Amino acid sequence: MPLSVKLAVKIKQHILFATKLTLAGGALYVAYDSGLLGNGKEGSVALGRAKDAFPPAVEEWMKYFGFQLPATPKIEFSPLDAWNSALVN
């Protein structure tokens, strides 16, 4: 293989790695910023915010693409209440 092709392959590998690293760092930042990496109370509040924001966002995208999804089930679960529940009870 010519040297220029080998160099192009190496550059592509580095660009792909940098892209993956950037996406992972962004996901970690969003999780930290929204409170998911904090204590149980912060995580519970962040989960509640996500539950409130997710259905309108999906509905907006479904209108945009013209799809219809079935209704999402209601799940009443609080990680804060379930934490160490086996030891407390």
Query: pLDDT tens across 2-39, in order?
Result: 888 899 999 999 999 999 999 999 999 988 888 878 78
Residue 25 sits in the same domain as residue 59: no
Residue 11: which domain range?
1-33
Residue 58 sits in the same domain as residue 73: yes
pTM, 2 dp: 0.50
Task: At 84, list the tokens.
Answer: 């160490």
Residue 64 sits in the same domain as residue 85: yes
Residue 48 sits in the same domain as residue 80: yes
- What is residue 71's predicted lDDT score, i.e. its pLDDT? 73
Residue 26 sits in the same domain as residue 53: no
Select, from the ranges 10-14, 48-52, 68-72, the one with the highest average predicted confidence (pLDDT).
10-14
DSSP annotation of 38: S
Residue 23 sits in the same domain as residue 54: no
Residue 43 sits in the same domain as residue 28: no
**Total number of domains in the chain:** 2
